Structure 1
Amino acid sequence: MPGALSGLKILDFTTLLPGPYATMFFSDLGADVLKVASASRPDIGEHSKPFLPGTDVSASVAYLGRNKRCMTLNLKDPRSAEVIHRLITLQGYDIVIEQFRPGVMAKLNLGYEQLRKIKPDLIYCSLTGYGQSGPMTDRAGHDINYIARSGIASYSGKRGEVPPLLAMQVADVAAGSCNAVIGILASVIYRRESGQGQYIDVSMTDGMMAFNTFLGASFLTDGKVPRPEDNFVNGGSLYDYYETGDGEYLSFGGLEPQFSRNFFIAVGRPDLISGGVTPPELSKVKEEIREILKSKSRDEWMQIFDSTDACVEPVLNLEELERDKLANAREMIVRVPAADGRMVKQLANPIKFSKTKPEYRFTGGKPSAGIDTRAVMAELGYSEDEILNFTDTGLFD
């Protein structure tokens, strides 16, 4: 059965993580994604180790490029605009996602206002750090900057300590990629209802600001600025990570009374039940809990908590995750065919469908190699002589 998003045709002008992760979602679910890359200015992800054995293809690129075709174009060459126009008018690509600084695509004659003239119902998504309007449109940034400016870092971590670094790019992926996917799919539905396309402005900093959720709503109501360790989930309760006797860690998230009660019984402290997760002497109780949890190894504690409904889970490393019963039962690691026929292990698409299951047809290749360039150009009606001429004159650089 075709994927849930089969029929969508997307031109992908993105690099690094936010855009490529978003378009991988589309390609996993059946959309036709054509990545347009540069041969002369490769994505820095292409140089990220490790590489697939015996190849020069980065494992991260093989993952993010999954199920996508890729061609190279020198977008500064005016002939590139003609190629993109043909992809839209002749091949039916009617969704564009790009990740350049504001105004760059317009200078290349590939901006929304220019492309909508040839495709009025075009859906066009721009994904940037600070958005298309406001005082910071041209400012460079990365994940840590968007998190910092959003306010979230100010009340994360421990009181008196440096805000903690996150080991994954939450602004790039959760605030950027996911909002781009949501925005594009919402626009697809709108187009089907109205016949009209639209422009989508996704700012990763905007997305992080929205992630203030409960604390943001509270501050806008009472004006109280949240600080580290002053609420339930940032250290102001027993909700936290705890070291075990073998130097590993457990997480405890039992905010509700029934879960905290089970937790206290399991650790041999039923006398603490009445105080819940915010006991009157929090620091003292927390230190007592820390010492108790250091009396056994992580796995010994999990033998207890696996049969106790207390919202306790182990902190796993990726080697443990690969063997984990949940990850395997949920089929979160899949094998995907590489170009040479070998099967490569990758993380699966996390959404489960009863009918239109994600497909894992092939791993991504090196974008700057543009392995599908000649085929795409031929599909657009260019002759072999024209393609050779374009190659010799730098159109594909």
Structure 2
Amino acid sequence: MTGPLNHLKVLDFSTLLPGPYATMMLADMGADVLRVEAPDRLDLTRVMPPHDGGVSTAHTYLNRGKRSVGLNLKAPGSVERIKALVADYDIVVEQFRPGVMDRLGLGYEALKAVNPKLIYCAITGYGQTGPYRDRAGHDINYLALAGVSSHSGRQDAGPPPLGIQVADVAGGSHHAVMGILAAVVHRQQTGEGQFIDISMTDAAFALNAMAGAASLAGGAEQRPEGGLLNGGSFYDYYRTGDDRWISVGSLEPQFCARLCEVIGQPELKSLGLSQDPAHQQQLKSALREAFSGRSLAEWEQIFADQDACVEPVLTISEAAEHPQLKARGMVIDVARPEGGVQRQLGHPIKFSATPCQSRFIGRTLGADNPSVWPSEADDSGAG
């Protein structure tokens, strides 16, 4: 393993998306991740379609580079097995509701007694405290409660169900990784482990950034299509003549001028630079008409050599073939256990000295039981 985290060992009890995405990032960066799963309660991502070679693509991606053991945590002897592992591990990641691991005898205090240097990260929808700590939720609920949905989408259509899970990934996964790595640095300086409480709702609330800063400082509440960056200006998407879409982000004066020149209407520049909402709407109407006159491919060719912040809206398969993403290594081949490779999304962080490595796709449940517990019988709850 060549990544910058190749000295860390992670015990992963998480399921679905937020925790597995976080531990996948750690595995890509070199950490030795061992995933512990219930053999009688399959993680949904193992079975959800689509499948490739009979295996869910969600599972093979989110769990790449991780070893897998099957263990019923409620079975006799399971707590002792986990505690024996924890003595040699640096990090625990779990995604149960608050109190579940405590009731199993595997909460932070119980594991800290075994390994005082342990870093324990719990990812939940609403956090370990507060009136919603035990409440069920999903990405769409966290975004709604965090205020993100209130200023997303269109005035006449309401907030959209997004194509990616922002609270789960940008909120839960990425903040979990940041918290874990910060705790690793702290431990290197002090020798102390600690508990990390990640709430996906907290993280989504923090993502409000500029709109949130303005609102909390007494400014106007941002509404859909009411701000510079959420559809209230000409910074927007436009339908092309072949029912595709193109993005326009030409906010700065030089980019706005170039945009207007390229579409053959340089006189529109003054509208783009105006803060008057009526002028912004005039420009948006002119851009809608202009972009509807040609196909996306034609506009791509027209703007190919123009520094105007105008780019096509691509599908994922189109993006995978884009020369920029290909040059960045964002589509990679990951080894299958039976031979061959599977194409997957690459790791987005590029290290000069310790490059990331995606070693193999997600493994079958319990594939590593024999190597982790070679002397223990299979009937002890491993499944």
Q: Compute the TM-score of the two structures, normalised by the length of structure 2.
A: 0.97
Q: Which residue of 1 aligns with 2:332?
A: 334
Distance 1:178 1:76 in 2: 30
SS in 1 for 2:34: strand
Q: CA deviation at 1:2?
A: 2.5
In the TM superposition, what is the alpha-carbon distance from 1:223 to its structure 2 partner? Answer: 4.0
Note the C-alpha offset of 1:323. Answer: 1.6
Measure, in 1, the Cα distance between the counterparts of 2:158 and 2:216. Answer: 25
The aligned residue for residue 35 of structure 1 is 35
Aligned mates of 1:301, 1:310 — CA distance in 2 = 12
For 1:146, the equivalent position in structure 2 comes to 142
| Bigger Cα displacement from structure 2, 302-311 vs 206-215 | 302-311
Equivalent residues of 1:243, 1:293 under 8 A apart:
yes
> Which residue does the alignment assign to 2:65?
67
> Structure 1 residue 12 and structure 2 residue 8: aligned?
no
Is this contact kept in 2: 1:152–1:212, CA < 8 A? yes
- Matched residues in 2 for 1:120 and 1:162: separation? 49
Alignment of 1:1-397 (within 5 A): 2-53=2-53, 55=54, 57-89=55-87, 92-276=88-272, 278=275, 280-366=278-364, 369-378=365-374, 383=375, 387-388=376-377, 391-393=378-380, 395-397=381-383
Whole-Å separation in 2 of the counterparts to 1:360 and 1:135: 40
1:100-129 deviation digits (Å, cap 9, x = unpaired): 000000001100011111111110000000
Q: How far apart are residue 51 of structure 1 and its match? A: 2.0
Cα deviation digits, residues 76-120 of structure 1 (max 9, x gap): 12411111111122xx11210000000000001100011111111
Q: Which residue identity is paired with 2:224?
A: P
Once the 2 structures are TM-superposed, how far is the Cα of residue 392 of structure 1 from its aligned partner? 2.7
CA RMSD of aligned residues (A): 1.3
Please give the alpha-carbon distance, in whole angstroms, between the structure 1 residues aligned to 2:299 and 2:2: 45
Q: How many residues align?
A: 381
For residue 97 of structure 1, give the secondary structure of its aligned residue in structure 2: strand
Q: Distance in 1 between matches of 2:84 and 2:291?
A: 64
Cα distance in 1 for partners of 2:182, 2:67 equals 24
Residues 271, 282 of structure 2: 8 Å contact kept: no
Instruction: Name structure 1 gaps, 5 residues minimum.
Output: none
The SS at the match of 1:117 is helix
Which 5+ residue runs of structure 2 have no aligned equivalent?
Answer: none
CA distance in 2, matches of 1:140, 1:255: 41
Cα distance per residue 1:266-307 (max 9 Å; x no partner): 111111112225454332331121011111111111112121
The 1-side partners of 2:14 and 2:379 are apart by 26
Note the alpha carbon deviations across 1:348-388, whole angstroms, 9 max, x for none.
1011111211112111123xx3110121012xxxx3xxx22
Separation in structure 2 between the aligned mates of residue 225 and residue 170 of structure 1, nearest angstrom: 21
CA distance in 2, matches of 1:203, 1:129: 5
SS of the counterpart of 1:189? helix
Cα distance in structure 2, aligned partners of 1:221 and 1:318: 38
Supply the distance in 2 between the matched residues of 1:114 and 1:322 (Cα, whole angstroms). Answer: 45
Secondary structure of the residue that 1:276 maps to in structure 2? helix
* Cα pair 2:271 2:280 within 8 Å, conserved: no
Q: C-alpha deviations, 1:27-85, integer Å up to 9, x for none?
A: 111100000001100001111122222x3x21111111111000011011241111111
Give the aligned residue type for 1:332: M
Q: Percent identity?
A: 49
Instruction: Give the conservation status (yes or no) of the 8 Å contact 1:250–1:314.
Output: yes
- The runs of 4+ residues in structure 1 deviating greater than 6 Å are none
Q: Using the TM superposition, name which of 19-28 and 223-232 deviates more.
A: 223-232
Tell me, yes or no, if the aligned pair for 1:78 and 1:108 is still in contact at 8 Å: no
Given the two structures, how large is their TM-score scaled by the length of structure 1? 0.94
